Amino acid sequence: MKEFSFLKGNCPGALAEIAAELKKEHVNIEGIAGLTVLEEGVISLVTDNPGSTRKILKDLDIDFEEREALVMELPHHPGEISTLLGRLKEDHINVLSIYAGVEKNRLIFTVDQVDKTKQILRLE
């Protein structure tokens, strides 16, 4: 999966415009995170069609960063995220983003060492 991260002005409808374009192209949002920092909306999202997402963001003249996103099903028990993050810390892997996916117990995250993380967590 690919994560697209970008800044968008914090005003009514800013994210709605992007969501509408994704809808128009039949692109489904698999995970999304957003917050406001100093009047800018900071958005990260993962979709089921990175190629279309990339094109839509470019057509909307939105500068974005694209990273490989890792996805895990995580049991819904106290301490699961702590265990995961502790394991990454032991191996000096920095988490760049982390948020819940739209499906239950799905965790989406990006790191600075993708291949090492995949090996450690036995992903893919």
In tens digits, the chain (124 residues) has pLDDT values of 999 999 998 888 889 999 999 999 999 999 999 999 888 899 999 999 999 999 999 999 999 999 999 999 998 899 999 999 999 999 999 999 999 988 888 999 999 999 999 999 988 7
Burial of 27 (0-12, 13-18, 19+ CB in 10 A): buried
Question: Cα–Cα distance between 87 and 90 in angstroms, integer?
Answer: 5
Question: What pLDDT shows up at residue 119?
Answer: 94
Query: What is the CATH T-level fold of the domain 1-124, as seen in this structure?
Result: VC0802-like (3.30.2130)
Structural contact between residues 96 and 111, judged by C-beta atoms closer than 8 angstroms: yes
Question: What pLDDT shows up at residue 29?
Answer: 96
Cα distance between the two ends of the chain: 11
Question: What pLDDT shows up at residue 87?
Answer: 95
Question: What pLDDT shows up at residue 39?
Answer: 85
Q: What is the pTM of this model?
A: 0.90
Question: Cα–Cα distance between 122 and 51 in angstroms, integer?
Answer: 26
